[in-house]
Amino acid sequence: MPSKTAQQLMPFFLKDCPTAHAILTLSGLDNRLLVWDYSCYIDWIKDIICVLDKKVIADFITWLWNYWNNRNNYVFRGKEEEAMEKPPYGFVKVNFDATVSSNKIGYGVVVWDSDGFVLGGGGGFKDKVMSAEWRELYTFEESLKIECSLNITKAIFETDCASLVNMVKKHGNDITIMGYHIDEAYKNMESFNSTTVN
């Protein structure tokens, strides 16, 4: 059972949010997913993924991502985060992140263009325990697959895992198993015209 705070937080930040209602109404759901009947957030997100249209899921995950980052900055730094920075014209931004709950990982990828339009995305769950770096690397590999499926040639990948960013930027110097996987991912990146990881 989630904490009383978690039970109160979900209805509070979604029930009165016109953006959440608009996104959920696009699929004709009304308030079905806004009623708190879950033991943890990952179960709620699973239901959303099962019920919503793929385009709506991408928009909804983008909104959740922005909300969560904004909330964390306000709670931990005392300030709200500015809107996500758009990629330069002709590029797309690929945001990816992973989380863990009850020995499962959940991951999400959102791809958007310089106008802020969501081009696609994806996500899923994996029943496996992984370290933070392995979770982010797995999600990065999934984001590369999505980029390929959308025929994107110029992309900026963005994650909140600084250690993964550093490992990707210093690829070829790491002789560990993770370094090998990063080198393989980097080979996939070389097929694009321009790709960076931040």
- 12 — pLDDT class (breaks 50, 70, 90): very low
What does the pLDDT read at residue 104? 78
List alpha helices for the chain, DSSP H: 4-15, 18-25, 41-51, 54-77, 132-149, 162-169, 177-189
What does the pLDDT read at residue 2? 42
- 149 — pLDDT class (breaks 50, 70, 90): confident
pTM: 0.56
What does the pLDDT read at residue 6? 42
- 4 — pLDDT class (breaks 50, 70, 90): very low
Q: 51, exposed or middle or buried, with CB in 10 Å at 0-12, 13-18, 19+?
A: middle
Query: Which CA distances in Å does 160 have to 115, 125, 135?
Result: 22, 19, 12
User: Which phi and psi angles does 88 have, rounded to 5°?
Assistant: -60, 160
What does the pLDDT read at residue 108? 82
What does the pLDDT read at residue 7? 43
What does the pLDDT read at residue 22? 63
Integer Cα distance of 119 and 123 in angstroms: 14
Flag the least confident range among 15-24, 32-41, 142-151.
Answer: 15-24
pLDDT-above-70 percentage for the chain: 63
Higher pLDDT, 6 or 60: 60
Integer Cα distance of 1 and 86 in angstroms: 39
User: Which phi and psi angles does 12 have, rounded to 5°?
Assistant: -60, -50
